[in-house]
Amino acid sequence: MNSGMVSMRYARALFSYALENKAEDIIFSEMKILSETLASRPQLRATLDNPVLSTREKLELIKLAAGEKVSDVFVRFIQLVLHQRRENHLQTISLVYLDLYRKYKNISVGKLVTACPVDDTTINKIKQLVQDKEEGTIEFVTEVNPKLGGGFILYIGTYRLDASVASQLTRIKSQLMSKNKKIA
């Protein structure tokens, strides 16, 4: 069966079960930690795929990866996933759950990439400007990338605003090269 379909079905089932039990916020934080852990530690995913490990050992590993203490809803869901031998889909299931939660709660994801660290007041101003344009709330992340040379890149959902020096220099270079080709 298609990996995307499997992940979507499990994530939807978990989301509706979490809504019924009023645990969607707790599950969101647990799934966020789990997805970040699985993304940053590929050896954990390889370990979970190991058929020699027992279900109990895999459950303990996943509980550890999701945080110190996890909810009963999370444990029951992981037990179901392990029973159905779908642990290789956990990364995708967690990401789909995060998307479903954000759509339900009307949360947009924003990311600000700058060439040097920016103070909190500037970040809050940018976040406020974005929130005035977007409906709902915004989950905002910042990142420093010195390769930009200056300026910033702002990501909101699927939109990208690139005001970096590096991209402006690249555009100028390509314009100059295209003019030189016309002359020659």
Quick one: pLDDT at residue 184? 57
> How large is the average pLDDT for residues 119-139?
82
Q: Quick one: pLDDT band at residue 35, thresholds 50, 70, 90?
A: very high
pLDDT reported for residue 66: 87
137 half-sphere exposure, CB direction, 13 A CA radius: 6
CB atoms within 10 A of CB 106: 10
Tokens of 162: 């690139």
Q: Are strands 159-164 and 151-156 parallel, antiparallel or unpaired?
A: antiparallel
The residue type at 79: Q
> Rounded to an integer, what distance in angstroms lies between the CA atom of residue 90 and that of residue 164?
36
Q: Using pLDDT thresholds of 50, 70 and 90, give the confidence band for residue 2.
A: low
Q: What is the pLDDT of residue 22?
A: 93
